Amino acid sequence: MERMRAAVLIEPRRFEIREVPVPAIGPRDALVRVSRTGICGTDIHIWNGHYAADRLPLVPGHEFCGTVAAVGDAVRHLAPGTRCVADINIGCGTCFWCRRNEILNCPEMAQVGIGRDGAFAEYVALPARLVISLPDTLPDAVAALTEPVACVVRAADKAGIRPGQSVVVLGAGPIGNLHVQMLRLAGAAPILVADLSEDRCRMALEAGADAAISDPAALAAEVGRLTGGRGADVVIESVGSERLYAQAFDLIRKGGHVAFFGLTGPEASVPVGILRTILEETSLKGSVAGMGEDMHTALTLLAHGRFRTEAFTRAEFPLEAITQAFETLASRPEDLKTQIRIGRDPAVA
């Protein structure tokens, strides 16, 4: 049996680089040789033991780019050698929810790198129908951003963003920054961002926000100033704070919308005024991950240079240094993404 290097999370905060068997593939699967994999907030939660702790030992990693190494006997549409990314959300493909592209509601749902072994490894296996081939012109480091970009594509869609809508993004972390860029593409105006970090506020302005506020006490007044005193059409919570979710309802206009995006613990909740919701026709909706067509839309936008990716692609570590990559993330706020380089460097090969 062939073997590969993989970063196995044995217990919270403890990766081991191990030689493990290359994953076996079934007749409808593909084996992808990974070139690089981004670290996302979910990986940090898994690393800390706050999420999927019952799945350890696990090879995390779901924001990957690579090359098809092999396909199962029944796969006709995909050939080895194809550069690719992949939709990590595995549904049954036929149920009510899968047909509606609500794959996380599928009773058979599993996610690569979260519920089963992922791409902090030389190879990852998944259904071939989820593999998406890449244009030659798209560098691996940018292609590996397809999954996080798909999350903001879906969020803008679920929130029904239209040209000329005023939007407040709470949180200008990596995903908040991508929300801002997506909102620009969707025509939102003005776009106001709130983050406690001055650095993140500055980066949000560079990404296309019209205003960025680091002083929480000044936020409500600034939203009022930019929206003719009405409040925002849409507020996107992209931090995961119960308190900010509650505040979001104070920042929307009558008839406005709160987009639920930042992840909280399972018990977190927010009081919603029933009569206000009815009389003002306010609304709320969640959005989770990026899947199916969201991935293709994200890839198209990246391939056509619609996202500024420099702050997402400059920090990289080899697989052997994955622990260092995780441990130093928080001290590098200017790097919006850290990628683990796994395939051999083309210059060296």
Q: Which residues lie near ligand NAD (CB under 6 A)?
A: 41, 151, 170-176, 194-197, 200, 238-241, 244, 261-263, 287-289
Give whichever of 157 and 316 is closer to ligand NAD, judged by the CB atom: 157
CA distance 310 to 37: 16
Told to judge if 338 belongs to the known catalytic residues of this protein, a careful annotator would answer: no
Which of 40, 59, 201, 319 binds Zn ion (CB under 5 A)? It is 40
Give whichever of 72 and 216 is closer to ligand NAD, judged by the CB atom: 216
Pick the catalytic residue: 45, 67, 296, 328?
A: 45
CA distance 214 to 216: 6
Minimum distance from CB of 41 to ligand NAD (Å)?
4
In a 3-state reduction of DSSP, which class is residue 210?
Answer: coil
Name the token pair of 202: 């500055």
Region class of 101: left (phi > 0), else alpha (psi between -120 and 50), else beta: left
Give whichever of 288 and 303 is closer to ligand NAD, judged by the CB atom: 288
Give whichever of 82 and 313 is closer to ligand NAD, judged by the CB atom: 313
List the single partner that 207 binds among ligand NAD, Zn ion, none, CB under 5 to 8 Å by kind.
Answer: none
Report H helices in 160-273.
Answer: 174-186, 198-207, 216-226, 242-251
310 Cβ contact list (under 8 Å, min separation 6): none
List the single partner that 32 binds among Zn ion, ligand NAD, none, CB under 5 to 8 Å by kind.
Answer: none
CA distance 298 to 271: 34
Name the token pair of 39: 């670290």
CA atoms within 13 A on the CB side of 101: 16
Q: Return the amino acid letter for 300.
A: T
Minimum distance from CB of 254 to ligand NAD (Å)?
24
List the single partner that 197 binds among ligand NAD, Zn ion, none, CB under 5 to 8 Å by kind.
Answer: ligand NAD
List the single partner that 244 binds among ligand NAD, Zn ion, none, CB under 5 to 8 Å by kind.
Answer: ligand NAD
- Among 123, 188, 175, 120, which Cα is nearest to 145's? 175
Instruction: Tell me how many residues contact Zn ion (CB under 5 A).
Output: 6
Give whichever of 91 and 176 is closer to Zn ion, judged by the CB atom: 91
- Kindly identify the residues of this chain, within the stretch 103-132, that bind Zn ion according to CB under 5 A: 106
Give whichever of 68 and 175 is closer to ligand NAD, judged by the CB atom: 175
Told to judge if 45 belongs to the known catalytic residues of this protein, a careful annotator would answer: yes
Minimum distance from CB of 194 to ligand NAD (Å)?
5
Minimum distance from CB of 178 to ligand NAD (Å)?
8
CA distance 242 to 270: 7
Residue nearest ligand NAD, Cβ-based: 173
Minimum distance from CB of 348 to Zn ion (Å)?
28
List the single partner that 287 binds among Zn ion, ligand NAD, none, CB under 5 to 8 Å by kind.
Answer: ligand NAD
Which of 9, 22, 98, 131 binds Zn ion (CB under 5 A)? It is 98
- Among 24, 192, 12, 252, which Cα is nearest to 124's? 24
List the single partner that 61 binds among ligand NAD, Zn ion, none, CB under 5 to 8 Å by kind.
Answer: none
Q: Is 263 exposed, middle or buried (0-12, 13-18, 19+ CB in 10 A)?
A: middle
Report H helices in 265-336.
Answer: 274-280, 293-303, 310-313, 322-328
- Binding interface with Zn ion (CB under 5 A): 40, 91-92, 95, 98, 106
Residues labelled catalytic: 42, 45
